[in-house]
Amino acid sequence: MKVTIKIISKIIIAVVFIFSGFVKCVDPTGTAIKMEEYLLAFGIDFMIPLSLGLSILMCGAEMLVGIMLLLNLKIKWAIWITIALMVFYTPLTLWLAISNKVTDCGCFGDALVLTNWQTFLKNVVLDVFIVVLFINRGNFKNLFKPVFQTAAAVGFALLVTGFEFYNLNHLPVIDFMPYKIGANIPAGMIIPDDAPQAIYKIIFCYEKNGTRKSFTDKNLPDSTWKFVKRKDRRIQKDYSPPIHDFSIITPDNLDVTNKILSDPGYSYLLIISNFQKANLSHFDEINRIAESAVSKGYGFYALTSSVPEEHELFKEKVKASYPIYLMDETTLKTMIRSNPGLILIKNGTIIGKWHYKQLKNVKDS
């Protein structure tokens, strides 16, 4: 029985860490964006330039330690690294659950979204299994000789790092975002008639003779009590559609969202989340695609969060002839992990997505 618990604990921790690391290694840019939220919440935004590097390190470490545990590679090292990570994660997720400074911890990327309290409880359960691993850390048999273990661990580390950099320089090999190929944008914005509504519990605080007590609207005190304050505690969130905050606005403040999404023909959306951070080396290719698209009657629109005052200067800089419209920066980053990136839609359905390094694969359909 003791051996069974030891093995089960190891497998559970290994699988969770491999899954958690994998879904973040698939999208290290998304993990970096989430890490920026953490840095802002902690008031250490001066570290934001390091967010991508920290993302690569953390995602890779999680996936690698899971592989090491599963295959009994340097098992003692793997257990100690796991303990170090959980000593950091557990109090962090408790703080998030209490403060709600970051509403989604991002522990499973965008593949599986948990509430902060669910994440903390998940970590508490994992800690129990980790205690079992720690107690039995000297009782696991190594499957390979030490020199082969080291070589295998280094090999897997290189593979994991290479996988991360592949996803950085291309689009994620698995797209967990609501803007994946095949998704219909208008359908993703629909709120069902029977969707859950937010529910709040109203608490009234009253004071009498130096004593404060909380009441609900069903058991309010008599007039001898003095009202102090009211608290609204949300006990159920309302429904949030997969796609929200999606609106395309012209520099003249006209909403052209429905016009573009309802176009029965093909339309290209050139995503430039921020002019200052955009890679400009592929705009000759982008402009050729735009000219070809327009000549065939397709729509071609650039979407950015940069202020309208910068639009004309940017168009001159990259020699662009297509219109530039406005959209929320977070939405743009969610649509595609590339700046710039290209999306092809038809009737609001996403037909294709391309990283700026993959534009040679663009076909007009």
For residue 2, the model assigns a pLDDT of: 56
What distance lies between CA 337 and its chain's CA centroid? Answer: 11
Q: What is the phi-psi region of residue 74: left when phi exceeds 0, alpha when psi lies from -120 to 50, beta otherwise?
A: left
For residue 233, the model assigns a pLDDT of: 76
What span, in angstroms and rounded, lies between the C-alpha atoms of 231 and 233?
Answer: 6
Question: What one-character DSSP code corresponds to residue 178?
Answer: T
171 in Cβ contact with 353 (< 8 Å): yes
Using DSSP's 3-state secondary structure scheme, residue 341 falls into: strand
For residue 364, the model assigns a pLDDT of: 54
Identify which of 111, 120, 113 has the alpha carbon closest to the alpha carbon of residue 86: 120
For residue 114, the model assigns a pLDDT of: 84
70 in Cβ contact with 82 (< 8 Å): no
What single letter denotes the amino acid at residue 178? P
89 in Cβ contact with 58 (< 8 Å): no
| pTM for the structure as a whole | 0.82
365 in Cβ contact with 351 (< 8 Å): yes
Tens of pLDDT, residue by residue, the chain (365 residues): 556 888 899 999 999 999 999 999 999 998 998 888 888 888 888 888 899 999 999 999 999 999 999 998 888 999 999 999 999 999 999 988 888 888 777 788 788 888 888 999 999 999 999 999 999 888 887 777 888 888 999 999 999 999 999 999 899 999 999 999 999 999 999 988 887 887 878 899 999 998 999 988 888 898 899 998 888 777 777 777 889 889 999 999 999 999 999 999 999 999 999 898 899 999 999 999 999 999 999 999 999 999 998 999 999 999 999 999 999 999 999 999 999 999 999 999 999 999 999 998 787 55
Question: Helices 2-25 and 51-71 meet at what angle, rounded to 10?
Answer: 150
Which CATH number is 257-361's, of 2.60.40.10, 3.40.30.10, 3.40.440.10, 3.30.460.10?
Answer: 3.40.30.10
Cβ–Cβ contacts within 10 Å for residue 5, how many?
Answer: 13
- Report the sign of the C-alpha dihedral through residues 136, 142, 147, 151, in that order: negative
> Where exactly are the structural domains of the chain?
2-169, 199-236, 257-361
Query: How many Cα atoms are found within 13 Å in the side-chain-facing hemisphere of 353?
Result: 23
Q: Which two three-digit tokens encode residue 291? A: 């000219």
